[in-house]
């Protein structure tokens, strides 16, 4: 069968960057994401890719790929450093960026809000404040006046459907996914105000931009998942039928609470150098981070190894983050799991493995016990965020623990069902690792000491007013979750799957609102129809294997290499939005892949998805452009750089290369060839 015809000559091929992910951090331009990452002890952006100063180089790289569009975003925190004060020098800089893009023969696609906003906006109520739409309109107007008629394509809000996760924590999430996070509270009224404000602000910004340039084309790029048609129809029907505020609150509120209460375990808390991970967050809730450690690499003292890359067989404790992180940290080494870090060290001593990957504080203890036997080859490999674990739905206890960690005022003793149960028992039960000097150690007389012991006593003091009313219990590495909730590993995967099926994955309320199919209390009158083209992002999807549904949450948790790939989902999504908006063109604002996802490498991912775009256009779907995320490696939100979060056609070693050299990948060659041919070759 002949392949589809090439894409039209005016079809836009582009690449993208984003301000926070690419522009270097400077304290006077700190944004809300910087504050969030610091509070959560996530990896901060630092210099990022230094796009602020190196944009001419990156624009030239995009031109060399044959691109006709270049997407970037404006850093609102730079433009408006103080309320009502706009920095003319920053605006000039972005104006020069637009000129450079146009001189290179590309259309600038400008995003006004890419997941970040100024601290002064948050301090005045943030995106849920009554005046937020007016603040955003004024900002859009100032930027629009400066960039003028040189910009045709505008994005108001990047992935508005994802912004809710700074205000809504799903019950299987251990932490909030994005800012403002825990400070937002759990009031569903806040979430309603956010959604309403996003629609109102989008409409106001569009009016402001089109008043300046009537040719401006304004939209937002909602993230849409690839779902079977029957499931997407069901989710849309379910969203549209929740027209009463009470029904909507009930449906959303259910996603905040575990469907059934967790059975109480043998302890109330676990304070055991437990690293926050998405997998664990599905079974327990995590407090704020109380300490940041790191993974390290231990070898025999007489080992000739001098570098991480020389290790061929690495040992790690089964069930530890070292075990799960080994493929990322040491992709060329064979992993062997042992019952504990100590037994893994014994294997190294017995020449059964070259090195041990583990928490540095545990490896330090191993060295203290045998100082002439072992040494650390690498001290800091990957940050480890330690937090207190509590069982799901114990929100009262979690709030108290957070208050203690944050050093908040004592105030009145907290109340709630979990704390009431602890009080009736007359002591707090805390699971600890034990055996770690300075962390959690019991001496010969049975007395406990260490930083984590002190934290447990402080929590007991907050509950009882008496720090001695606490009992410490040693829990093994693989017992920490079952000690809190014995059945979590068995019940939570099924419960999560059911809840995701019933609505957590319906990310298309944005387009339904623009279509005019949401209630007016959520999308006010005058906000419908406020777009000049259909913008969308597509990355992941499932076709028939409904059992893979829960894997869609991997991307939200930063595990992009484990997210399910379905190229045919892009074609289905394009047809779906075309049915919603038959008279408007469609721009794929984001699509792309990490080095490899779901067993599909980036080269194959690009070929297959762009082929679906080509087929869609041949079928009459008015797709006007495709923008690849991303031009270069970028600082994915709060993550230490690794192949599992590198979307770049040009690779940058963010954490190890001070020169931030852009290295062309084979994916760039593939993309350039497709752009040149305006087609995916039949042999591909």
Query: pLDDT, tens digit, for every residue of 581-594?
Result: 999 999 999 999 99
Note the pLDDT tens digit of each residue in 201-220.
999 999 999 999 999 999 99
CATH number of the domain located at residue range(s) 269-286+386-484 in this protein: 3.40.190
Round to whole Å and give the CA distance between 357 and 315. 6
The fold adopted by the segment(s) 289-384 is: D-Maltodextrin-Binding Protein; domain 2 (3.40.190)
Give Dmax over CA atoms of the chain in angstroms: 82
pLDDT of residue 55: 98
Q: How far is CA 572 from CA 235, 325, 521, 612, 621, in A?
A: 15, 35, 30, 9, 11
∠ CA(398), CA(402), CA(403), 5° rounding? 120
Overall average pLDDT of the 474-495 stretch: 74
Q: Is the model's pLDDT at 229 over the cut of 80?
A: yes
Q: Are 282 and 323 in contact (CB under 8 A)?
A: no
Least confident of 357-371, 403-417, 557-571, 619-633: 403-417
pLDDT of residue 525: 96
Confidence of residue 375 (pLDDT cuts 50, 70, 90): very high
Where in the chain do CATH 3.40.190.10 domains reside? 289-384
Round to whole Å and give the CA distance between 589 and 524. 26
More confident residue, 260 or 39: 39
pLDDT of residue 241: 74
Overall average pLDDT of the 30-38 stretch: 94
Least confident of 65-79, 90-104, 154-168: 154-168
Q: Are 216 and 532 in contact (CB under 8 A)?
A: yes
Note the pLDDT tens digit of each residue in 238-258.
777 776 667 666 666 666 666
Confidence of residue 504 (pLDDT cuts 50, 70, 90): very low
DSSP 650-683: EE--TTT-TT---EE-HHHHHHHHHHHHTS--TT
Length of the chain: 684
Q: Pairing state of beta strands 313-317 and 334-338?
A: parallel
Two tokens at 462?
Answer: 């907050």
Q: Is the model's pLDDT at 626 over the cut of 80?
A: yes
Q: Is the model's pLDDT at 84 over the cut of 90?
A: yes
Q: Is the model's pLDDT at 307 over the cut of 90?
A: no
Q: What CATH architecture is 12-250+492-677?
A: Alpha-Beta Barrel (3.20)
CA atoms within 13 A on the CB side of 36: 25
* Number of C-beta neighbours around residue 450 at 10 A: 19
Q: Which residue has the tokens 């623009």?
A: 514
Q: Are 478 and 317 in contact (CB under 8 A)?
A: no
CA atoms within 13 A on the CB side of 404: 24
Two tokens at 325?
Answer: 């992180």
Chain Cα centroid distance, residue 4:
36
SS3 for 28? helix
CA dihedral angle for residue 263, residue 267, residue 268, residue 271, rounded to 10 degrees: -130
Where in the chain do CATH 3.20.20.80 domains reside? 12-250+492-677
Q: Are 512 and 240 in contact (CB under 8 A)?
A: yes
DSSP H or E stretch at residue 249? helix 245-256
pLDDT of residue 184: 45
Q: How far is CA 612 from CA 8, 31, 381, 567, in A?
A: 15, 37, 40, 7
Mean pLDDT across the chain? 90
Q: How far is CA 422 from CA 34, 270, 419, 460, 488, in A?
A: 37, 15, 5, 10, 21
Round to whole Å and give the CA distance between 667 and 605. 9
């Amino acid at each position: 069968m002949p392949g589809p015809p090439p894409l039209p000559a005016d079809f836009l091929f582009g690449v993208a960057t984003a301000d926070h992910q690419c522009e270097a951090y400077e304290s006077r331009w700190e944004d809300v994401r910087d504050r969030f990452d610091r509070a959560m002890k996530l990896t901060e952006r630092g210099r990022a890719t230094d796009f602020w100063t190196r944009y001419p180089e990156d624009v030239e790289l995009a031109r060399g790929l044959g691109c006709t569009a270049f997407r970037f975003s404006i850093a609102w925190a730079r433009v408006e450093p103080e309320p009502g004060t706009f920095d003319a020098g920053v605006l000039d800089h972005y104006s020069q960026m637009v000129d450079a893009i146009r001189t290179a023969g590309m259309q600038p696609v400008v995003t006004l809000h890419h997941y970040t906003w100024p601290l002064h906006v948050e301090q005045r109520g943030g995106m849920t404040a009554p005046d937020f739409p007016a603040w955003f309109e004024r900002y859009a107007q100032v930027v629009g006046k400066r960039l003028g008629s040189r910009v045709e394509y505008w994005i108001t809000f990047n992935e508005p459907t994802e912004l809710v996760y700074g205000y809504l924590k799903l019950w299987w999430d251990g932490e909030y996914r994005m800012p403002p996070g825990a400070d937002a509270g759990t009031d569903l009224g806040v979430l309603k105000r956010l959604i309403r404000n996003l629609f109102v602000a989008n409409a106001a910004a569009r009016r402001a931009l089109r008043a300046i340039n009537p040719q401006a084309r304004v939209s937002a790029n909602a993230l849409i998942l690839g779902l079977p048609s029957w499931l997407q129809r069901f989710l849309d029907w379910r969203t549209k039928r929740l027209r009463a505020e009470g029904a909507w609150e009930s449906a959303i509120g259910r996603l905040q609470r575990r469907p059934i209460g967790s059975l109480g375990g043998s302890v109330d808390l676990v304070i055991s150098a437990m690293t926050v991970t998405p997998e664990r967050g599905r079974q327990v809730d995590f407090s704020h981070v109380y300490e940041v450690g790191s993974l390290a690499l231990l070898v025999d003292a007489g080992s000739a190894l001098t570098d991480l890359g020389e290790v061929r067989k690495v040992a790690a404790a089964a069930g530890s983050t070292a075990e799960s992180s080994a493929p990322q940290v040491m992709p060329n080494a064979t992993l062997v799991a042992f019952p504990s870090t100590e037994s893994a060290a014994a294997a190294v001593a017995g020449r059964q493995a070259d090195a041990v990957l583990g928490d540095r504080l545990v490896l330090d203890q191993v060295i203290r016990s045998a100082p002439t036997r072992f040494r650390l080859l690498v001290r800091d490999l990957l940050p480890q965020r330690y937090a207190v674990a509590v069982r799901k739905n114990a929100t009262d206890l979690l709030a108290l623990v957070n208050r203690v960690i944050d050093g908040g005022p004592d105030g009145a003793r907290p109340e709630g069902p979990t704390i009431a149960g602890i009080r009736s028992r007359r002591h707090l039960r805390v699971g600890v690792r034990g055996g770690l000097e300075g962390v959690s150690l019991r001496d010969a007389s049975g007395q406990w000491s260490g930083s984590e012991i002190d934290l447990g006593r402080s929590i007991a003091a907050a509950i009882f007013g008496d720090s001695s009313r606490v009992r410490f219990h040693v829990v093994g590495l693989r017992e920490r979750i079952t000690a809190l909730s014995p059945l979590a590993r068995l019940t939570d995967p099924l419960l999560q799957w059911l809840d995701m099926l019933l609505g957590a994955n319906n990310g298309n309320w944005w387009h339904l609102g623009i279509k005019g199919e949401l209630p007016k209390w959520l999308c006010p009158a005058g906000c419908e129809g406020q777009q000049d083209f259909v913008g969308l992002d597509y990355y992941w999807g499932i076709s028939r294997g409904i059992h893979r549904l829960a894997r869609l949450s991997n991307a939200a948790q930063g595990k992009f290499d484990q997210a399910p790939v379905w190229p045919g989902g892009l074609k289905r999504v394009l047809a779906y939005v075309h049915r919603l908006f038959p008279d408007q063109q469609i721009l794929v604002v984001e699509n792309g892949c990490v080095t490899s996802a779901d067993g599909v490498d980036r080269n194959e991912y690009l070929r297959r998805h762009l082929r679906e775009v080509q087929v869609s256009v041949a079928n009459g779907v008015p797709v006007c452009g495709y923008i690849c995320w991303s031009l270069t490696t970028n600082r994915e939100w709060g993550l230490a750089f690794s192949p599992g979060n590198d979307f770049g056609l040009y690779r940058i070693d963010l954490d190890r290369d001070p020169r931030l050299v852009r290295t062309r990948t084979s994916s760039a060659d593939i993309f350039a060839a497709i752009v040149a041919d305006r087609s995916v070759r039949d042999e591909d």
